[in-house]
Each structure stands twice: as C-alpha cells, then as structure tokens.
C-alpha cells in the first residue's frame, strides 16, 4: 500500500492498525494453484483466523485445514447457506482437522460431521474409535524439518517404521485410513525436506498397499515459505521440485492436498503504529510504539520472525532500537532498526505481517489488539 493510503486509513481508524488487502490474498491463492495444479489448497486457518480472510479464500475456491473446534466451526459458518447435504459434502471433501491430538470432547462434537482427522499414535486411534467412530483418519508421519523456521517434528508425527502397524491397527478397530500426512516445518526454505518427505510417504503407502490397504490421499502439509526477503527462493522453484516428485511417486488417482497458511496470508497485511515515546540510551535512540510483541508483533516471540519497520517520514536513517508499549522487558521489536529521526506521533509500518501475528495477539497489560481493517474485499 502507498504511504498516502496508509495515512488515510490512520486518520479514519487510528493506531495501532492492521490492514489486510484481499486482492493480495486472491493473488497468493491463484499463484499457489498455478504452480501446484495437482494439489488441493487447504488454507491453514491458524495462520490468521479472521473470518473475512476465510470468506475471501472460500469464495476463491479454497479448502480448509483446522486445528481446533473453534476453527472448525468458523468454516462451518461459511457454508451454513448451503443445503445440509452440501454442507456435509463440503466438510468431507474440503476440510481436514489436522491436529493429531484432540480432546475427547472435541471428537464427540466432530463425529456428527464425519470429518477427516489426523492421528500419529495408538492412543489417539483408540480415542477416535471411541468418540468419533464416523471420522475418516489420516496418519501423520514424522519427517525431516531441517532448516525450517519453526520445527514441528519433535512434537508431531509417527516414526515411518511404525506407520504401517498404526494403519493396520486403525483398520482392525473398524476405522478407515484415507491416507497419510506430513509437515516439513513452518517457513521451510530447505526444499530437500519436501523431497525426502514425499519419498518417505511413498514408501509407507507402497508397504501399506502390499499389506492389503491402498491409501488414496496424501496431505503434504504446510511450510511453503512466504517471500519475507530476497533470500527466500521463488515459490515456482519449490513447486517444480514438488511436482516432479509427486508425478514420479504417486499415481494420478492419488488425491494430493496441502495446508498453506503463511504463504497465503503473510504478504496480505501491513501493520501501522505510532511513536509514543523516545529516549537515548548508551548513545542509541530508542523509540516506543503503540503496539507490541504481545500484540501484532507476537510473531517475533512465537514464530521466530522479524518484521522490518519503515517510516512514513523521509530522511537520513540511522540505527535505533524499537520497543513495544508494554511494561515487560521482553517487549523488544528490534534492537537494530534503520529509521530516520522520528518524533512523537510519527508513524511506522511493517509489511508482510499477516501470518501468526494478530492471530496470537493478547490483552497483556490491558492493551487491546490492533484494529483490523480490510480493503479490496
């Protein structure tokens, strides 16, 4: 967005502010579908669960990956206008509950919808059988997460060596294993992770087939990197690697799905904050803004992400520190930001802040989350 547009929005809505551009959402979704034509895109709602974002992606044709009952119900709200049978068909065809560990109360609530749910251990199979026997199940594998910004394999996924036994046990209990899933870690810039994971999944599916169970679905998870900086390779290069392995390893009748979250929403949002304090410490200028790591910039803590700040004011730049508005010493936006000389009430902004940011915002210190404004809906 232009500086003039940002200033106009601040005059209307104040700060702190998050601006979501729905044209960017639609472009990102189209880009994903263009480069991975065989892959059905299930938006990872956890990346940003704003209902307006979900609505735009639904209208664009997206499916949905949910990881909690509230996220599942958010998707259900999108389809309430459909006839009951069409709602059920949508849930079966276009929703996956991809959190491998679920409270029994959640499973009870999900059972009536007959969704796809993931699992990665024997106890979870037994729990699903007892509380959601009508669900279809997908086994999650543990795969390499080397070089990903957020590593997930230590928490989720079964060892490939025990995968077939877990598949057989699910069938023995009367459940239907529809396929496999994996996740290479969030913001994965090591493309080899995808190659290794696809080959591991193919080996498990081949062994399962030899044991009498042909699986028909593969969920290749998320991890598709957002272009935060010039060091992130173009998505087209990753897609070419994935396409080549999918076509080599899996027959055309295998349904391939993925869970892009960050890739779809990161570049669609810009945050705007106001300078509320200024000090000099040890010769370095320090600015305080009316946002924080407990609010829009929560991705600094929870997501290991950095969001370079820019100023609407022009001028010679210098190295400075930027802190959030809360009383916590952890509330550091950056110790080394390059900004012009700023004064109280000047505005700064951060681009590409749509994923895992205001989604994990809190009310710490009594400060409310930033207002969210949607443009180009």
Q: What is the pLDDT of residue 69?
A: 97
How high does pLDDT run on average in the chain?
95
Average pLDDT over residues 8-15: 97
**Which active-site residues does the annotation give?**
327
Q: Residue ranges of the alpha helices (H) in the chain?
A: 3-13, 22-35, 51-60, 69-78, 84-94, 104-111, 122-131, 160-172, 192-210, 235-249, 262-265, 299-302
Three-class SS state of 21: strand
pLDDT recorded at residue 147: 65
With residue 349 as reference, give the H or E element that holds it.
strand 347-350
pLDDT at 128: 98
Q: What is the pLDDT of residue 150?
A: 65
The mean per-residue pLDDT over the stretch 164-192 comes to: 93
**Residue whose entry in the numeric block shows the structure tokens 């044709």:** 61
Question: Could you tell me the CA-to-CA distances from 259 to 65, 68, 111, 255, 343 in Å, in that order?
Answer: 6, 15, 22, 14, 43
> CB neighbours of 292 closer than 8 A, spacing ≥ 6?
324, 325, 326, 331, 333, 364, 367
**Percentage, residues of the chain above pLDDT 90:** 92
The model's pTM: 0.95
Whether 131 shows a pLDDT value over 60: the answer reads yes
- Compute the Cα dihedral for 293, 294, 298, 303 and give only its sign: positive
Residue 321 is inside which H or E element, if any? strand 317-323
Instruction: Please say if the pLDDT value at position 46 is more than 60.
Output: yes
pLDDT > 90? residue 154: no
Stretch 145-160: mean pLDDT, rounded? 76
Res 304: pLDDT: 84
What are 112-128's pLDDT values in tens digits?
Answer: 999 999 999 999 999 99
What's the pLDDT band for 363 if we cut at 50, 70, 90?
Answer: very high
Q: What pLDDT, on a 0 to 100 scale, did the predictor assign at position 186?
A: 82
Strand partners, 311: 348
Residue 63 tokens read as 């499916």
Closest to 222 (Cα-Cα) out of 295, 138, 149: 149
Domains along the chain with CATH numbers: 3-18+267-375 (2.40.37.10), 22-265 (3.20.20.10)
């Amino acid at each position: 967005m232009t500086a003039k547009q940002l200033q106009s929005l601040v005059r209307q809505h104040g700060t702190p502010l998050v601006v979501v551009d729905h044209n960017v959402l639609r472009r990102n979704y189209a880009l994903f579908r263009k480069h991975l034509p065989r892959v059905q895109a299930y938006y990872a709602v956890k990346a940003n669960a704003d209902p307006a974002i979900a609505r735009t992606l639904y209208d664009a044709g997206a499916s949905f990956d949910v990881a909690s009952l509230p996220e599942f119900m958010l998707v259900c709200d999108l389809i309430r206008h459909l006839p009951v049978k069409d709602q059920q068909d949508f849930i079966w065809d276009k929703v996956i509950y991809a959190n491998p560990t679920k409270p029994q109360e959640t499973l009870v609530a999900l059972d009536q919808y007959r969704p796809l749910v993931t699992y990665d251990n024997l106890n979870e199979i037994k729990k699903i059988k007892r509380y959601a026997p009508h669900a279809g199940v997908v086994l999650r594998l543990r795969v390499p997460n080397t070089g990903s910004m957020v590593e997930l394999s230590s928490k989720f996924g079964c060892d490939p060596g025990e995968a077939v036994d877990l598949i057989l046990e699910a069938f023995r209990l009367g459940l239907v294993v529809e396929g496999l899933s994996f996740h290479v870690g969030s913001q994965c810039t090591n493309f080899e992770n995808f190659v290794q994971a696809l080959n591991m999944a193919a080996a498990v599916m081949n062994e399962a087939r030899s044991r009498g169970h042909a699986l028909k679905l593969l969920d290749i998870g998320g991890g598709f990197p957002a272009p935060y900086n010039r060091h992130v390779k173009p998505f087209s290069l990753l897609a070419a690697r994935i396409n080549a392995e999918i076509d080599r390893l899996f027959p055309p009748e295998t349904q391939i799905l993925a869970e892009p979250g960050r890739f779809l929403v990161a570049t669609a949002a810009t945050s705007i904050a106001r300078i509320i304090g200024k000090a000099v410490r040890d010769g370095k200028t320090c600015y305080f803004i009316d946002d924080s790591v407990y609010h829009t910039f929560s991705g600094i803590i929870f997501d290991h992400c950095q969001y370079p700040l820019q100023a609407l004011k022009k001028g010679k730049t210098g190295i400075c520190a930027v802190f959030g508005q809360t009383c916590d010493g952890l509330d550091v936006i950056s110790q080394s930001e390059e900004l012009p000389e700023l004064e109280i009430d000047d505005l700064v902004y951060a681009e590409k802040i749509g994923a895992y940011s205001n989604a994990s915002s809190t009310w710490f210190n009594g400060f409310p989350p930033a207002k969210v404004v949607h443009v180009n809906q």
